[in-house]
Chain A
Amino acid sequence: MFSYCADPDTLSGLSWLSCYLTTGKHMMLYYSLGTVLLLLAITAPAALAFGFMGAMSARTRAPFSWFGKAYIALVRGIPDIAFFLFFVIALDQLFEWMRHKALCPDWDQPIRQGNDFVVCDAAKLPLSNASQWVHEVYGFSLAVLTFAIVFGAFAANVLYGAMRAVPRGQMETAEAYGMSQRQSFWRVLVPQMWVYALPGLSNLWMVLIKATPLLFLLGVEDIVYWSRELGGSKTARFTAYPHADWRMWYFFGLLVFYLLFTKFSEVVLERIMARLTHGQATSGGEAQRKATI
């Protein structure tokens, strides 16, 4: 990175550290930090969308509500890790199997040959001649989808509860004004439910932040992977920066990162809560009203 880094053996102290922390390998660590943030940025709205659909389905009449309720019950009842491990493999094989059926109708060999899961070349996802970044994006998307499904179920339960917490009087008033069911749902229920949903959702956001190291389990090279890799002791024969076992320091850095991140989230969420509470018939809204008098 820096010009004086050409011969690290002669360096010491801060200049050594500045070179050490800017090696290509450390860049991978910083890059993976971006991966984690990107995962959160995509997963949070996706999980909210899954949750909203789940909650809407759970509120409807008998046959339709089963989908929503089954989804919530299934995902909430299974350990996250088991779900993650199962889903990523299962989704991948499902997609490949569907493409295989569509693209290679004249394939005569079985798909399962002993231990191997073999589909025709055209059905592989991603194609085996695709470049590495396509594979990484595909793996990452599978992870995002799995995260969204899992956290969507929790969000569905939170939103379902929030929808029922909106005072019945509000809905009655809407009906009295002659609004149809759809109108009263979108114009009265949905705008008011967020204040009831936010405590649960913010809790979920915190859990989601803390669940990002699960990426490591899914084979995405995230910050936990690189911390362990970089922190392990290095011998001088294979690196210009030999050091002892520094994993503790790297993991400590991770700790600090997550703590700062969750603290920042708390501050932001508190502000949103204050804004949503404004004018609501909740104890928080009442307190706000009294403070302004």
Chain B
Amino acid sequence: MRNLILTTAALALSAGMAMAETVRMGTEGAYPPYNFINDAGEVDGFERELGDELCKRAELTCEWVTNEWDSIIPNLVSSNYDTIIAGMSITDERDEVIDFTQSYTQPDPSAYLSMSADADTKGGVVAAQTGTIQASFIASSGATLVEFATPDETIAAVRNGEADAVLADKAYLKPIADENDDLMLMDQEELIGGGVGMGLRESDGELKAKFDAAIGSMKEDGTLNALLTKWEIGPGF
């Protein structure tokens, strides 16, 4: 009898815990200003603030998880976390595998960063992070593509002469160009990508609807624009 009461109590407890839905937010943590790991060792950046606000509005408890960019989609699909919020542009290829919410940034042109203003971006060697829209753009542009696992390594490749330039989101390259005298943004820009959205499993329609609504409400009351300005990510809505 006592066992029975204990079991019922345990069941009731676990049911209560299940009520407060926990959503695990997967991010890369290496792509400032979108997401990075700050000095305290925590996930920080535009998407951290955005994600926390979205979870508050959707009344979800959120936990942050970092994952390598390479395997960020496979690990979402196999349920290691529930969302990707990692500066991921919405593309048709990705949309076949996962679902996206509406975009929370405007399409931001990608820029070239290099050591000289006249670097050859048409026929030279251009670095990009593996599995990004920039990498697939260069693969079809005629330039030679070298890929790296992390964004930081693409910058290092330009510095040590392995690549003539690196193609990445302008918001990522700008602070680097501003603070390093030897690196500069080139005038040439490429308009690729359709804005950044949150990625979710295709079977998670309910969660997607919640985040869609939360992003919509942040667009309406201007809080999203304020965040975009604060972290200097492209134009607002």
Contact = CB atoms under 8 A, between A and B. Distances in A.
Contacts of A124: 79
Contacts of B29: 229
A102 interface: no
Interface residues of A, number: 39
Nearest to B97: A115
A117 B37 contact: no
A219 interface: yes
Interface stretch (A238-246, A269-277, A281-289): A238-246
Interface string B192-225: 0000000001110000000000000000000000
A23 B41 contact: yes
A245 B18 contact: no
Interface stretch (A128-136, A164-172, A201-209): A128-136
B104 interface: no
Main secondary structure of the interface of A (DSSP, over half): loop
Nearest to A238: B32
Given A92-B78, A115-B77, A129-B22, A233 B156 contact: yes
Contacts of B97: 115
A114 B20 CA distance: 29
Contact of B33 (A23, A115, A229, A237): A237
A24 B41 CA distance: 5
B79 A118 contact: yes
Nearest to A132: B63
Contact of B38 (A119, A236, A238): A238
B167 interface: no
Given A131-B63, A228-B150, A219 B33 contact: no
A27 interface: yes
Interface of B: 17-18, 20-24, 29-30, 32-33, 36-42, 44-45, 61, 63, 65-68, 71, 75, 77-80, 82, 97-98, 150, 152-153, 155-156, 159, 175-176, 178-179, 201-203
